[in-house]
Structure 1
């Protein structure tokens, strides 16, 4: 570095050259300032556009994946020079072709996720190319730790990308990943180290002791009824007695009614296992002979054959206690009546006039007025037709009114 005296001598000897150098330096400083200003504005715009709206974990994922990709590219730089023998501009152009392909596949996979809700073949390509560059860069390592490090760096980048894609998938589709059958939690449960439910340790211990009692009781019963030797029966009874003693001591079985019922329920289930052979569970949608598509009321007496064919609207109903309500209250009662009607129709039951009146608390006249309008709707009309064709019941609005002695009360 020139000394101060040398600089002073140069300025004195060559003032013109000094002026030119000073001018060029000022221009360079101005250009550097402008470049830095443009770069700062571009960086600020990029941060505001792409970084600020994203969660911090996404930003950190991109940063970490970029660092890992750089480590992988450095390994490929050495591999292309030492193994492939590339040098100069050719080495600079070709060393990171796999990393570029990985980034391209990752971008395409994200686009596929947003458009088709699946990463597709590009997602598989990311992992395949990552494993390829990891293996190639580790082949030029000079030691085992370096090889492991070069293997790990690309895989870390791929894992971070996969986690980002999982978050993106959940955000777009509203669903999580697949549920793996082999997980650490399942292994711990299988080994008996962890519990599936959120029961406390005392509850788990009590359940297991009660189960031991129930199983010991079943074993003793089977041996005794099967004519086993007396020695085996005594051993089974001794095992049952020991399990019962421990259950009473550690579970409070003698005073806990809930656990007593649980023990009896387990014993009852174990004793009646053979009854499962004769069980005849029906498929809910399986048709059978006694199936009625339209639920009917309880069995009606033979007097139903004497039903009249007139409609309920032709029967005169005298209401000794007519209701006097205002418009708002009438609207509330009508809305409640309609809700009750819809609930019953959904169950496959056509409400009677008296049913509506008793349920809502309105007069028979008002209930008959509502029913005469609503029974003409398609769903209610279909139920009434089904009742007529299946049971011969004519809709009179009362289905019908039957006296205590079994006589059918009809319009005289």
Structure 2
């Protein structure tokens, strides 16, 4: 840098040139300040809009993928010169066409994921083009380590992109990845080297020994009832005796009530296998509600009930919470009105009035009849008329109701 005296001499000798240089320097500083401020605002906006809302792992994934793509592009730069013979501006324009195609396919795949919930053909194109650029870059390598490095860099970028797509796929669909049928965990479980739950070794061993006893007992019972030769029956009983001895020794079967119940449950299940053929379980989603006749009255009260009082339950048994609350309010209002008239409604009356099933009406009536006023009426009916509250006794007319006994 020239000393201050030389700068002063230059300004005194060439004041016009010095003025132009000073003004140019000031303009350059002003432009640098303006461009720096614009760049700062742009970078802040970019960070606030695109970087800050994303998780840290997504940002690191993009950075690492960019670095890996740069390594791949550098390999294609050398490949285009050494193999294709490109030089100058043509080399600058054509060397990274595969990397640009990869980025384009990745962007399209992400858009397809957001719109169609699948990466589509663009997701496949990302992997195909990545493998292509990896092979081309490694072909111009000078050594085996360099070839492996150039082959691995694009694949790392594609893997990071795939993991980012998997996270976004899970975020959009709300589902995880597929569950492979052949995994190391399933193979170990299949071979008996691993457990599918969190039982410890002693619990697993006890369960297996108890199961061995139950199976031996079933086999011995089947041979004896099937008329098998005495030799086979004795062998089966000996096997059962041995399994029982081991179970008592290693599981504490003689003193552990829980394991005794578990063994009996297994034996009961194995002995009654044939009854499964005759089982007729009801389909849980079946909505066919057959009419249920009202509970029969005692013989003493049958003559007091008209034939028209027999009601069938045709109301569906399953309702939502809001509908159930509405029906309960209506039934309660009817109950209070009848109790105010000193009449105890029957289960059938409540079911007819509100339109509910006999089961629900009987359940609510069982709760409400314990209240003092209803209980006093029921007690009076029993003492004066001998009517036992079964939920189906006839209502007594107003002129036959006794006064409240308190």
Q: In which range does the TM-score fall when normalised by the shorter chain? A: 0.5 to 0.7
Judged with a 3 Å threshold, the aligned counterparts in structure 2 of structure 1 residues 229 and 90 are, in CA distance, closer, same or farther, namely farther
Helix, strand or coil for the counterpart of 2:179?
A: coil
Judged with a 3 Å threshold, the aligned counterparts in structure 2 of structure 1 residues 178 and 229 are, in CA distance, closer, same or farther, namely same
* Residue matched to 1:41: 41
CA distance in 2, matches of 1:45, 1:159: 29
* Residue matched to 2:267: 267
Query: In the TM superposition, what are the counterparts of 1:11-410 in structure 2 within 5 Å?
Result: 16=14, 19=18, 28=28, 31-226=31-226, 228=228, 232-281=232-281, 283-284=283-284, 292-298=289-295, 307=306, 339=324, 342=327, 356=335, 363=340, 380=355, 409=394
The RMSD of aligned alpha carbons is 4.7
CA distance in 2, matches of 1:285, 1:210: 36
CA offset digits 1:101-143 (Å, max 9, x no partner): 2222222222233333333333333233333333333333344
State the aligned residue count.
350
CA distance in 2, matches of 1:362, 1:408: 15
Cα displacement (A) at 1:62: 1.1
CA offset digits 1:71-115 (Å, max 9, x no partner): 222222233333333332222212222222222222222223333
Judged with a 3 Å threshold, the aligned counterparts in structure 2 of structure 1 residues 234 and 141 are, in CA distance, closer, same or farther, namely farther
- 8 Å contact from structure 1 (residues 76, 96) kept in 2: yes
Judged with a 3 Å threshold, the aligned counterparts in structure 2 of structure 1 residues 38 and 219 are, in CA distance, closer, same or farther, namely same
Cα displacement (A) at 1:67: 1.3
- Given the two structures, how large is their TM-score scaled by the length of structure 1? 0.66
Judged with a 3 Å threshold, the aligned counterparts in structure 2 of structure 1 residues 119 and 410 are, in CA distance, closer, same or farther, namely same
- 8 Å contact from structure 1 (residues 307, 408) kept in 2: no
- 8 Å contact from structure 1 (residues 109, 120) kept in 2: yes
Judged with a 3 Å threshold, the aligned counterparts in structure 2 of structure 1 residues 241 and 165 are, in CA distance, closer, same or farther, namely same
Judged with a 3 Å threshold, the aligned counterparts in structure 2 of structure 1 residues 68 and 238 are, in CA distance, closer, same or farther, namely farther
CA distance in 1, matches of 2:68, 2:142: 19
Moved more, 174-183 or 94-103: 174-183
CA distance in 1, matches of 2:123, 2:293: 59
Helix, strand or coil for the counterpart of 1:109?
A: helix
- Given the two structures, how large is their TM-score scaled by the length of structure 2? 0.67
CA offset digits 1:193-222 (Å, max 9, x no partner): 332222233222221221122222233334
In the alignment, structure 2 segments of 5+ residues that lack a partner are 310-322, 359-385, 398-406
- 8 Å contact from structure 2 (residues 344, 395) kept in 1: no
- 8 Å contact from structure 1 (residues 403, 409) kept in 2: no
Helix, strand or coil for the counterpart of 1:194?
A: coil
- 8 Å contact from structure 1 (residues 253, 260) kept in 2: yes
CA distance in 2, matches of 1:134, 1:222: 68
